[in-house]
Amino acid sequence: MRKQRKISNTIITIILIFLSFLYIAPILIVLMNSFKGKLFISDQPFVFPTFSKQDLGAAGIQPKTFVELKNYWNGVQKIHFWNAFGRSVFITVAGVAIIVLFTSMTAWFITRTKSHYSNTLYYLFVFSMVIPFQMVMYSMTKVANALHLDNPLGILVLYLGFGAGMSVFMFSGFIKGIPVSIEEAAIIDGCSPLQCFFRIVFPVMKPTVTTVAILNTMWIWNDYLMPYLVMGKDYPTIPIAIQYLQGGYGSIDMGAMMAMLILAIIPIIVFYVACQKYIIRGVVTGAVKG
C-alpha cells in the first residue's frame, strides 16, 4: 500500500511539474526574446540569444542576436514608461484602498443589520459578480464621460463599483464568524459605531483584507479594457502604453514590446509571490465562517 501511494504521489508530482512548466513557459519565452534583436524574434522565437557570431559551415554565419538592454531602453523612451508606471501605481494603490475601506464597512453593515433591505442589498452585490463587463461597458463609458470620470481620479469610482461584489461577499462571510459580543462590549465601553469598526472589527478581518487587496491589485494592475474605454490616450496606463508600440500597417517593435511586458509583469509577480500565502489563508478563513 505504501509503495503504491509513493508511486502515485510521484506521478502526481511529475504531472504538476509539467503543468507548472506550461504556465511558466510563456513568461520565459517573453523574457528570452526581450534580449534579442527584433529581426530575430519572429524567425527564432524559441532559440536562446547568441552572444557572438557562430559559424554554421555551409549554412553561413549566425549573427549575434543578443542586444543587451537596448530593447528596454528603446521601449522606455518610446512609450514614456515611467509616466505610465506612476499612473498605474496610483490607480492600483488608490483603487484597492478605496475598495477595501468601503466594501468592508458595507459588509459589516449588511451582516449586522438584519432586515429585508440589507438582505436585498447583499444579493444585489452577489448578483453583480455574474454580470459580464462586456454587457455594460458601452453604457458605462457614456455615463463616465458625462460625469467627467474619464481621468485617474474618476476611474477609481468605477473600480469601486466593479470590485464591490466579490469584496462584499468575502467580507460578509468572514464577519459572520466574528462574535457580536465583542462589538457589544466595545459599545458598552463607550465606542461609537465607527470606533467599534476600526478598532475592533477591522483588525480582526486582517486575513480577508489581505486577500481582497491582493486579488484586486492583480485585477486593476493588469486591466486594459476599462482604462482604455474610459481614459483612452489621455491617461495611458502600462497595458495601454505597451499597446502603442504597434505602429501603422501592423508594424510592431517586438523587441521593445517584449521588454516592456517584462517590466510590466515584474512588480505584480513579486507582489504575488510575497503575498500568496495570505490568499489561501484568507479565502479558507472566510469560507468556513458563518
Per the structure block, which three cell numbers stand in for 244? Answer: 502603442
Kindly state the DSSP code that residue 36 receives in the 8-state scheme: B
Number of domains comprising the chain: 2
Same domain flag for 133 and 199: yes
> pLDDT band for position 216 (50/70/90)?
very high
pLDDT (0 to 100) of residue 60 = 53
Kindly report which listed range (31-40, 104-113, 165-174, 234-243) carries the lowest average pLDDT score.
Answer: 31-40
Residue whose C-alpha is closest to residue 144's, from 100, 236, 152, 124: 152
pLDDT (0 to 100) of residue 92 = 94
Domain end residue (candidates: 62, 95, 110): 62
Where does residue 18 rank: exposed (0-12), middle (13-18), buried (19+ CB within 10 A)?
exposed
Domain end residue (candidates: 62, 84, 114): 62
The mean pLDDT value of the chain amounts to: 84
pLDDT (0 to 100) of residue 15 = 93
Average pLDDT over residues 24-51: 83
pLDDT (0 to 100) of residue 168 = 92
Domain end residue (candidates: 42, 62, 82): 62
Is the predicted pLDDT of residue 227 greater than 80, yes or no?
yes
Spatial contact of 223 and 231, defined as CB atoms under 8 Å apart: no
Average pLDDT over residues 237-241: 91
Same domain flag for 35 and 160: no
Q: Across the chain, how many H-helices and E-strands are there? A: 14, 2
pLDDT in tens, 71-110: 899 888 888 889 999 999 999 999 999 999 999 999 999 9
Run of H or E including 54 = strand 54-55
Same domain flag for 203 and 263: yes
The whole domain housing 142 covers 70-287
pLDDT in tens, 104-134: 999 999 998 888 888 898 888 988 888 888 8
Sign of CA dihedral 18, 214, 238, 256: negative
Same domain flag for 20 and 113: no
Q: Which residue has the cell 438582505?
A: 119
DSSP assignment of 212-278 equals HHHHHHHHHHH--HHHHHHTTTTS--HHHHHHTTB-GGG-B-HHHHHHHHHHHHHHHHHHHHHHHHH
SS (H, E, C) 88-125: HHHHHHHHHHHHHHHHHHHHHHHHHCCCHHHHHHHHHH
Same domain flag for 88 and 226: yes
Helix (H, G, I), strand (E, B) or coil at 15: helix
Same domain flag for 18 and 58: yes
Average pLDDT over residues 36-43: 80
Interacting residues of 106 by C-beta distance below 8 A, sequence separation 6+: 125, 164, 168, 171
Same domain flag for 14 and 82: no
pLDDT (0 to 100) of residue 280 = 63
pLDDT in tens, 133-192: 888 888 888 989 899 888 999 999 999 999 999 999 989 988 888 888 888 888 888 888
Is the predicted pLDDT of residue 277 greater than 80, yes or no?
no
Give the count of beta carbons closer than 10 Å to the beta carbon of residue 27.
Answer: 13
Average pLDDT over residues 5-13: 87
Same domain flag for 52 and 85: no
Same domain flag for 89 and 150: yes
Q: How far apart are CA 78 and CA 209, in angstroms?
A: 38
Per the structure block, which three cell numbers stand in for 135? Answer: 454587457
